[in-house]
Amino acid sequence: MITQTKEITPEYDSKTIAKLKQIVGKNNVISDLEGLYAYSFDCAHIPFSKEYPRVVVFPENTQQVSEILKFANRHRIPVIERGAATNHAGGCNPVKGGIILHFSKMNKILEISNQDLTCKVQPGVVVGDLQNEVSKIGLFFPPDPSNLAVSTIGGGIALSSGGPRAFKYGTFKDYVLDLEVVLADGTIIKTGAQTVKNVTGYNLTQLIVGSEGTLAVITEATLRLIPKPETTNVLMAYFNTIEEAVNAVSTIINNHLTPSVVDLIDQKTVQTIEAFYPTGMLCDKEAALLIEIDGDDASVKHQQEKIISLCMENNAQYIDCAKDEEHKKRIWTSRRSAFGACAQLAPNVITEDVVVPRSKIAELSKGIIEISKKYNLITMIMGHIGDGNIHPNFALDLRDKKQKQNFEKAKAELFKLALSLGGTLSGEHGIGCQKASFLPIALDKTTLNLMIQIKKVFDPNYILNPEKML
Ligand SMILES: Cc1cc2nc3c(=O)[nH]c(=O)nc-3n(C[C@H](O)[C@H](O)[C@H](O)COP(=O)(O)OP(=O)(O)OC[C@H]3O[C@@H](n4cnc5c(N)ncnc54)[C@H](O)[C@@H]3O)c2cc1C
């Protein structure tokens, strides 16, 4: 384990704040206790320590980020990067106090090239805003971390976020060509090239992608774009068992069809959505599949017909296929309401994020149900079944000691189960604080040590997002 060399002290804070105000301007600094409290958690609201940030800063350009890091590194002050804080894993919790770097003022789309099919953006750009902007000229940025209206490009790159469209289009890592990053000592570097092909030296770009802010601060990204599919359609297919839903997906894939989205929603999730945001889903079936297809008109029609018939072959009980834009929106709204609906059940909703080979999804789902029964937990299962990525949502009250203990035990069993099925701890939300202590069961000692050495090369004073991942 790596340990921090010097703790921030209260006397130190006033000097720190004064220096930061000098770098970014006094209107770009929050240092009052009420303000700081709001930046102590990510959206899961789990207190991993009693710490809160000593200051939140909103840099407006790369030079300011560099100045902040030079100062923080000199004084061994933790720096925690924060986008929209939707990561769920305690990825931007300030567990050692320190400075929160908030990127909402570095939110410009700097360039979109129709000719090169690339764009250059700042880290605070909201994913949905980029998608809308490139769509105006017939281009597409596929990664969709299911909350496009708020989550940022910086957070998406730092976690290599995926989402429903990863099955066909891959995750953030497949779209990052070049990064401008600031190293822990304030040095500004470029990691890649503006080209789609590039094998010049080690692939530092992909080392930074998914590194959860522990190696460097992302200040600009060049991203690959693709032509926007002409049209899409979506359907919801209902099955009596999760196993039948999984079999239907395998049949679809074995028939060489590649839907843009194949998401699983279990009965408890459907019932919860219908209880709080009713859209007319069927509540009496064990599993629903949301399937989206895209392409030109003829291809979408052809894929849709085949998928409907393959679902029926696998005993689908009912298929709700969108007939117009309004209908499409309704089906997608039900899927996107899932987390919000679960959050109505208890003060906390903890979304887990395990991934297994697709063939093991039914076994994993059965195991999750057994673990939840054993520990008396309310659990709703959903996920990107096409990628084998399952998100059990646990609704509980963390103030209740017994429930908290039960959840910790259930979590450990869930991770062991995923590993025993040939899977791993996280498909897209990252390790953060939430899973850091489980890394040694997922990685061998030599691999883990190599990762620790890499961290030391990039961040010898251990100031960047401490206590996350390693
Ligand atoms: C309802 C809901 C549904 C979700 N569904 C999905 C899904 O389907 N797929 C999926 O992949 N995720 C999903 N997520 C998780 C989350 O939305 C994504 O991981 C998202 O990409 C995180 O973006 P953010 O801006 O909120 O990042 P944050 O949570 O703010 O940060 C994430 C990590 O990136 C680091 N970071 C942020 N900015 C920078 C930077 N500039 N430089 C270096 N490091 C940085 C942070 O320190 C942290 O470690 C979901 C979350 C919610 C709440």
Q: What is the CATH number of the domain that holds 93?
A: 3.30.43.10
Of 295, 315, 340, the last residue of a domain is: 340
Looking up tokens 């850091």 gives 436
Q: Which of 81, 100, 169, 459 to mutate to test the pocket of ligand 1 (most atoms within 8 A of CB)?
A: 81
In a domain, 449, yes or no: no
Do residues 84 and 170 share a domain?
A: no
Residue 76's alpha-carbon distances to 292, 296, 325, 334, in angstroms, are: 49, 55, 54, 46
pTM: 0.95
Return phi, psi of residue 454, to 5°.
-60, -45
Q: For ligand 1, atom 28, which residue shows the shortest CA distance?
A: 85
Ligand 1 centre to CA of 167 (Å) is 19
- Report CA(82)–ligand 1 centroid distance (Å): 9
Counting atoms of ligand 1 from 1, which one is nearest the CA of 83? 30
Is the same domain home to 325 and 420? no
**156: CA distance to ligand 1 center in Å?**
5
Whether 444 is in a domain gets the answer: no
Mutate which of 87, 348, 391 for ligand 1? The one with the most ligand atoms within 8 Å of its CB, which is 87
Residues with CB under 6 A from ligand 1: 42-43, 80-88, 91-92, 103, 123, 145-147, 151-152, 154-156, 158-159, 161-163, 212-213, 217-218, 339, 428-429, 465, 468
Domain-located, residue 440: no
| Statement to judge: residues 125 and 220 lie in one domain | yes
Point out the domain boundary residue: 309, 340, 371. 340
Q: Are 271 and 190 part of one and the same domain?
A: no
Question: From residue 148, how far is each of 38, 190, 244, 387 by CA, in Å?
Answer: 21, 27, 31, 20
For 124-148, letters b (16+ CB in 10 Å) and e give: bbbbbbbbebbeeeebbbbbbbbbb
Write down the pLDDT at residue 13: 80
User: How confident is the model over 241-265, as pLDDT tens digits?
Assistant: 999 999 999 999 999 999 999 999 9
Which ranges of 277-393 would DSSP assign to H, the alpha helix? 297-313, 325-336, 338-342, 361-374
In a domain, 81, yes or no: yes
Atom of ligand 1 minimally distant from the CA of 213: 44
214, 237: one domain: no
Query: What is the model's pLDDT at position 2?
Result: 46
pLDDT digits (tens, 9 = 90+) for 162-204: 989 999 999 999 999 999 999 999 999 999 999 999 999 999 9
Domain encompassing residue 28: 10-104+454-458
241 and 306 assigned to the same domain? yes
Q: Tell how far the Cα of 155 is from the centroid of ligand 1, in angstroms.
A: 4
Q: Distance (Å, rounded) from C-alpha 420 to C-alpha 284? A: 31
**Residue 465, domain member (yes or no):** no
Task: Give pLDDT < 70 ranges for the chain.
Answer: 1-12
In a domain, 466, yes or no: no
Q: Does 305 reside within a domain?
A: yes
Atom of ligand 1 nearest to the CA of 468: 49
Domain count, the chain: 4
CA of 55 to the centre of ligand 1 (A): 21
CATH of residue 335's domain is 3.30.70.3450
pLDDT at site 318: 97
Nearest to 322 by CA among 232, 231, 230, 235: 235
Q: Which contacts of 412-418 are long-range, i.e. CB under 8 A and separated by 24 or more positions?
A: 412/438, 413/371, 413/374, 414/352, 414/354, 414/367, 414/368, 414/371, 415/354, 415/441, 415/442, 416/441, 417/354, 417/364, 417/367, 417/368, 417/371, 418/354, 418/355, 418/356, 418/364
pLDDT for residue 83: 98
CA of 158 to the centre of ligand 1 (A): 8
Does residue 129 share a domain with residue 207?
yes
The predicted structure's pLDDT at residue 9: 55
The CATH number of the domain holding residue 177 is: 3.30.465.10
Q: What is the whole-number distance in angstroms between the Cα of residue 337 and the centre of ligand 1? A: 18
Q: Which of 170, 205, 227 finishes a domain? A: 227
Three-class SS state of 223? strand
Query: In testing the pocket of ligand 1, which one of 62, 68, 159 has its CB within 8 Å of the most ligand atoms?
Result: 159
Give the pLDDT confidence score for residue 88 in this predicted structure: 87
Verify that 223 and 115 share a domain, yes or no.
yes
Measured from the Cα of 338, ligand 1's closest atom is 1
Q: Is residue 2 part of a domain?
A: no
Residue from 68, 82, 204, 265 to probe ligand 1 pocket by mutation (most atoms less than 8 Å from CB): 82
